Amino acid sequence: MTEQNLNGKVALVQGGSRGIGAAIVKRLAAQGAAVAFTYVSSEAKAKELQDSVLAGGGKALAIKADSADAEAIRHAVSNTVETFGRLDILVNNAGVLAMAPLDEFKLEDFDRTLAVNVRSVFIATQEAARHMGEGGRVINIGSTNAERMPFAGGAPYAMSKSALVGLTKGLARDLGPRGITVNNVQPGPVDTDMNPADSDFAGSLISLMAGGRYGRVEEIASFVAYLAGPEAGYITGASLTIDGGFSA
């Protein structure tokens, strides 16, 4: 049975309608938090997730918001606070992955990578921190590719996830005096509909991993839930890798 150690807490998950984000929403709700989450295009999946949490006795709110849009992010934060009365936990999970050979990489894809993977984290944290008090939690979802990029075509993605390492450290200094922690979770390859564990691409990655398998979304979600909980108050400014030995 999952411990209900987040009772009374309110969370906002950027990019929470599917994959790792949906698993995080479910886990935080199972531990007692009221959870708002954003989505861009997966409206049916977002509604299904919201209804599933509600049917299980939890509290959830799906909010349509493009993480490349600063005003949409700010609205998502204010909507969360207006609906649930407070904000204690922010999970910055929204992310995009564009890959192409260097001489073919489009500048608009580069700019969107930065907008969603880095800029949105800063904006959401800046806005959420206005509502957070002692014990607040900011958890960024980075990538093991910040430390290891073993294939060509992913330089901008790796750069964006490396940027989160520095941003996390700086934000931890900014918010530490207020009792708010900021951490960065760096997953390795995880089995999702966008990156299934049974694909040819997955096979090439599994051969690089000490554990010999893809991760499960529930494993990432449990790690995030720990950082969101009361026992993780002494962890801040950290980039914590959960990648099955991909970067070993």
- Second-level CATH architecture of 10-189+216-242: 3-Layer(aba) Sandwich (3.40)
Confidence band (pLDDT; 50, 70, 90) for 199?
very high
pLDDT at 63: 98
pLDDT at 42: 85
User: What digits encode the pLDDT tens for the residues 47-69?
Assistant: 999 999 999 999 999 999 999 99
Confidence band (pLDDT; 50, 70, 90) for 109?
very high
Catalytic residue list contains 214: no
Does residue 186 have a pLDDT over 70? Answer: yes
Write the secondary structure of the chain as one string of H (helix), E (strand) and C (coil).
CCCCCCCCCEEEEECCCCHHHHHHHHHHHHCCCEEEEEECCCHHHHHHHHHHHHHCCCEEEEEECCCCCHHHHHHHHHHHHHHHCCCCEEEECCCCCCCCCHHHCCHHHHHHHHHHHHHHHHHHHHHHCCCCCCCCEEEEECCHHHCCCCCCCCHHHHHHHHHHHHHHHHHHHHHHHHCCEEEEEEECCECCCCCCCCCHHHHHHHCCCCCCCCECHHHHHHHHHHHHCHHHCCCCCCEEEECCCCCC
pLDDT at 2: 78
pTM of the model: 0.96
Rounded mean pLDDT, 148-174: 97
162 touches 146 (CB < 8 A): yes
Does residue 25 have a pLDDT over 70? Answer: yes
Does residue 104 have a pLDDT over 80? Answer: yes
Please tell me the distance from the alpha carbon of residue 184 to that of residue 163, in angstroms, as a whole number.
Answer: 11
Question: What mean pLDDT, rounded, does the chain reach?
Answer: 96
Catalytic residue of the set 39, 157, 214, 226: 157
Confidence band (pLDDT; 50, 70, 90) for 3?
confident
Does residue 147 have a pLDDT over 80? Answer: yes
pLDDT at 1: 63
Does residue 189 have a pLDDT over 70? Answer: yes
